[in-house]
Every structure is written in structure tokens, then in C-alpha cells.
Amino acid sequence: MRAFLAIEIPESIRSALTALSARLRAADVRASWVKPENIHLTLRFLGDIETDDAERLGEMLAADLQGIGPFPVRVRGTGAFPNPRRPSVVWVGMEPFEGPLAQVQSAAEQAARAIGLDPESKAFHPHLTLARIRDGRAAGPLVRLLIQEHEFDAGEFIVEGATLFSSQLNPKGAIYRRIREFLFT
């Protein structure tokens, strides 16, 4: 199965992100916009893994995440990967990365390595993907809107757990299915 570990976003934050996406879409740049119900914070993309590996990973995470209680995060700021001059991904940031969020992401990385996956090649930058740009060279109007929205603040929410998802790709977008939830107590 194609899988990833993520933090789900509450409806109040999702509504603010939907409004931001609508404002950014006004740039009329060719992009694939993430459906509001699919916006999440990916802690670790796992790729194609076997069901047995997903179960092993789940057991490790259940043990490693014990003792982490619910914690606040703020959804704030906009940006683009690899950079605003030639964007391929439009995102909204999440902070702070220090503390519990860093612990959860580290546990996800360690569990992924324990089931035989290669270490993540890029440093973790907590963000919510809003869109994938098809031609970064033609994204000037969108970049200007992103700069205008750099102080975007959707507010704070309490992270109460993480979820292991499977992802099935189809022409109308990805379909996510919850495999296992890890509640922070």
C-alpha cells in the first residue's frame, strides 16, 4: 500500500485554508489544488509498503508516541518550494517545530527507518500543501499573491494525535483511508 503518517487539520483551520486557496486561485496559474478535505501535515511519506511493515510501524509508533500529550500548533505564513522565484509547491507553515511536533516527526522518521526505508533526504519543514504548480516559470501572478498573503494566520489548534493513512491515486485526486490513529494522552 502507498502510505504516509500525518496530522489531521480541524475544520476551523480547513475553512481558513479554503478561503486562502480561493484568493490564490485568482492568479489563474496552472496548478493542481489540494482538495480541502485532503489537506494535512505530512510527518513522513512512506511510499509503497507491505501490510506487515505498516503493522510493525504502527506498533513502534504506538510505543514511541506514548507520553506525548496534546499540544498546540499555529498555522501561519505562506511560501513555496523550492523557492518563490520558481515555485513547484505552494504551502502554509505550521509552528513551532520545536518540542512535541519535533518529537512526533522524529518518531515517524525512526519508525520508517526501522522498517527498512531510506532516511528522508530533505530536512523536515512543517507545512500544509495547498497546490502543486505545473509551470513555475509562469507563476508570477501567484507569487505576487503569496507575498501579499505572507502574514496569513489561520489560528492555533490542539494536535490530539497522528494518523497512518493509505493513499490511492486516481485521475480526480488522491483518496485517503485511515489505517491507524495514534492519540496523544
Nearest Cα to Cα of residue 14 among 34, 31, 36, 32: 36
The DSSP code for 36 is G
Q: Residue 2 class from Cβ within 10 Å (0-12 exposed, 13-18 middle, 19+ buried)?
A: middle
Q: Choosing from 112, 127, 165, 182, which is the catalytic residue?
A: 127
Strand ranges, E, within 39-152: 40-48, 71-81, 89-95, 127-133
Q: Choosing from 8, 17, 40, 131, which is the catalytic residue?
A: 40
Active site residue 127: yes
C-alpha separations of 157 from 21, 52, 184 in Å:
20, 33, 14
Do residues 91 and 2 lie in contact, with contact meaning Cβ atoms separated by under 8 Å?
Answer: no
Helix axes 51-64, 100-114, angle to 10 degrees: 140
C-alpha separations of 33 from 6, 37, 39, 185 in Å:
19, 12, 10, 34
Active site residue 150: no
Q: How far apart are CA 26 and CA 33, in angstroms?
A: 12
Catalytic residues: 40, 127
